[in-house]
Structure 1
Amino acid sequence: MANVYFCPKSQKLKAINYRVILTTLISIFCYLTGTEKVRAQDNVDQDWIFKNSKTLSELWELDEEHHRGTFLITSYKPIYFSLGKFSTNTNKNPQSEQRDNSLPQPIDLNVFETKFQLSMKTKVFYKVLWGKADVWAAYSQKAYWQIYNKELSRPFRETNYEPEIILNFPMNFTVLGFKGRMLGAAFVHESNGRSDPLSRSWNRLSFHAGFDKGPWQLIVKNWFRLGGSNDDNPEISDYIGRGEAQLIYDWGRQRLSAIGRHSLRLGEKNRGSLQLNYTFPIIKNFSGHVQVFNGYGESLIDYNHRQTTFGLGVSLIN
């Protein structure tokens, strides 16, 4: 009878009890050693990995699901710091079309410098124009620092300031397989805050459209210059351009983007630029950043100066 009492079913019950005991011991060990915290942090990191590449709906809060409220500062353009940027044709004597608007002699600039960009935006008004649009305020700043130029006491060569007021309309339509997510307009001012002969500035009215398709994003812009022609850069649109197309591809935590600008003119005024960016993860929110630029307008002071630059640094926000 004893053999009947200790049947395989009883052995199965014992095995279950052993597993319960073993699981309990492992849980206690993980709790005491902090392993569970590490596992939880891994889950957080995985969530962050998948959410690192935000859609246009998330970036611009185009629906109720992603609306975060007004006057909350969020990122706009990429935030990065190029530790080293090399130029094939450094502009040592910047000059506008006005021949009297130039320096008395060239500046002894280094071909190597650093560059950084800061950019942010905030939603000012929500659901204006009969509930169809949002109003945003944005600010971007680029700085070019001759930090390796000891002879000139490491000055900032150029700083560009770019505030914007943006009117954005959430949309939902399809063009060539891409989803149209937004249409809008913006008033943009850009200047370097300097006096003659190095003063450069312009105002423009810009129109934009945003599309996405899976890991792809496409943003196209067309702008018209505002103001007179008797300024310090009267033909800036023939160099920097009158339109822009930005194509972005997210590959996991890596991002590739191309920004092309063009004057939308032919002949001698057929000018523009192409900028390529590649970011790759280093640790958490810290990424490496590679940038290649070719054409006119790498900075405002260089709006009519053609060059090719190569930059390598780090990125905080893509």
Structure 2
Amino acid sequence: MHKLSALLGLSLLAAGLAQAQTASSTSPSEHSPPGWQACQAMGSDATAQLACFKNWAASQAPTSSTSTAASASQQPDTATALPAVPVVEVIQAQAPDGKKIGCRDTHYSELSRFWELQKGSDCDTFALRGYRPTTMMWIGSTSVNNQPSTPSPGHTVSTPFNYERNETRIQLSVRTKVAKGLLTSAVDNEAENDSLWVGYTQQSYWQLFNGEISRPFRTTDHEPEVIYIYPHMIDLPGGWKYRLSGLALNHQSNGQSLPQSRSWNRVYLMGAAEKDLGGDARLTLQGRIWHRLRESSQNDDNPGITDYIGRAELVGAWQINKIHSLGMTVRHSLRSEARGSVKLEWMKASTSIANSAALRYHVQLFNGYGDSLVDYNRRRTVLGIGLSLVDW
């Protein structure tokens, strides 16, 4: 009896397939129940229904690439097949070369990423980036300038202020690249690109702890500049590589009226080199030498400023590892009466953010002239402790 039922089920399946083939060849708009539906209709005989489904499933199995052509004529008509399951292709997104991630790609050196010296380290134009550290610090100094003065007439404060030596320093510094490939034409990622940048730095001294005089900002310096960078890859002795030359126009002023007005303009040349020490360790060295643009004596807020602040500076940085870095900046007047300044710095990244290394604990010690523009002719020692964002 069971064998008879199975044969009856197979006969119904064959009839259904034949009917589907006939319908698909005569009227594509009329569809007969597919084979699996015929099996479903055999619910009264479980054994026959199971055999029907097994035979139908076998007819849907894909063939190997070597036997496809030979067995194609033996396969059931595709009109009876279930819809194919779509294949999902996983695609790993990648940013185009030189876009967004280029200046964060550690395949390139520190200077190459900072100034985007190569096509592969390019973050394109008009992307806002950090320049000098953006800083919030407590400041303690050996003295404070309560009566700023210069040799120019009308530039001496008549009534001394009541400032305190403990205050807060806030520095904001940003830049953006406005043009690239002006004199060079980079073809591949390792090729070099020159660039033109616009930068702005603002530094404020805030008498945050001086409630007696309503916690004013003692002074704020504004420093916009335009910088042209030309890349190099020149091998130097000792494993050093000379990486860039630059030319810049710089303006600095405190935006005050007389008697506290201070401002000057200068052009400077710069150059930078680096040395890879292996792992995350490296050394960088940058030098600048500048020339003050001449002003008439009646418009000169700060005569002899270069004799105090200096005419050149040398900046050295040692990245010890992802966590720690040391820095030193030396400025000199390049005259027999040596004035200028020395600044020592230590930065430490939190271990939880060591991979980004953007936020740092920052300790700074300064001695000399010109830690602010109003103090260009006043020597003092300043200790700063706080937090800084570097090249965010």
TM-score by length of 2: 0.65
Unaligned runs of 5+ in 1: 1-49
Shift of 1:136: 0.6
Residue 175 (structure 1) shift:
3.0
Larger RCO (alpha carbons 8 Å, 6+ apart) = 1
Corresponding residue for residue 308 of structure 1: 381
Paired residue secondary structure (2:327): strand
Q: Give the structure 2 partner of residue 281 of structure 1.
A: 349
In the other structure, the counterpart of 1:247 is 316
How far apart are the structure 2 equivalents of 1:175 and 1:238?
32
Does structure 1 conserve the Cα–Cα contact (< 8 Å) formed by 2:117 and 2:194?
A: no
Q: Is the 8 A contact 1:240 1:303 kept in 2?
A: yes
Indicate which of 349, 372, 390 corresponds to 1:299: 372
Q: Is 2:241 aligned against 1:179?
A: yes
2:182 equivalent to 1:119: no
- AA paired with 1:182? L
Output the CA distance in 1 between the equivalents of 2:296 and 2:305: 10
Matched letter for residue 142 of structure 1: Q
Partner AA of 1:64 in structure 2: K
Q: For residues 243 and 161 of structure 1, what CA distance do their matches in structure 2 show?
A: 20
- Per-residue CA deviation, residues 135-174 of structure 1 (Å, 9 max, x unaligned), is 1111111111000000110000011111110010001113
Deviations 1:259-309 (A, max 9, x none): 111111013xx2000111111123424321101000000100000000001
Is 1:70 matched with 2:125? yes
**Aligned-pair RMSD on alpha carbons?**
1.8
Paired residues, number:
266
The one-letter amino acid of 1:89's match is S
Structure 1: distance between partners of 2:243 and 2:386: 32
Partner of 1:225: 292
TM-score by length of structure 1 reads 0.80
Deviation at 1:54, TM superposition (A): 6.3
Superposed counterparts of 1:163-178, under 5 Å: 163-177=224-238, 178=240
* Corresponding residue of 1:264: 334
Distance 1:247 1:229 in 2: 35
Equivalence for 2:204: 143
Could you tell me whether the CA contact under 8 Å between 1:216 and 1:250 is conserved in 2?
yes
Distance 1:78 1:150 in 2: 28
**Residue deviations 1:183-202, cap 9 Å, x none?**
01000000000011100000
Any conservation in 2 of the 1:97–1:235 contact (CA below 8 Å)? no
8 Å CA contact 2:341, 2:367 repeated in 1: yes
- Alpha-carbon displacement from aligned partner over 1:75-130 (angstroms, at most 9, x marks no partner): 11111110x21110211111112254111121111010000111111110111135
Which consecutive residues of structure 2, in runs of 5 or more, have no partner in the other structure?
A: 1-104, 186-192, 277-281
**Residue 158, structure 1, aligned to residue 219, structure 2:** yes
Relative to structure 1, is the Cα distance of residues 138 and 200 closer, same or farther in structure 2, using a 3 angstrom cutoff?
Answer: same
- CA change 1:229–1:275 in 2 (3 A) is farther
In structure 2, C-alpha distance between the alignment counterparts of 1:175 and 1:240, rounded to whole Å: 30
Structure-1 separation of matches of 2:334 and 2:115: 28
Q: 1:196 aligns with which of 243, 258, 271?
A: 258
- Corresponding letter in the other structure for 1:236: I
Superposed CA deviations along residues 218-253 of structure 1, whole A, max 9, x for unmatched, are 000000001315111021000001101000011112
Give the one of 122, 143, 147 matched to 1:89: 143
**Percent identity, aligned pairs only?**
40
In the alignment, the residues of structure 1 paired with residue 235 and residue 220 of structure 2 have an alpha-carbon distance, to the nearest angstrom, of 39
Amino acid at match of 1:175: L
2:118 partner amino acid: D
The aligned amino acid for 1:117 is Q
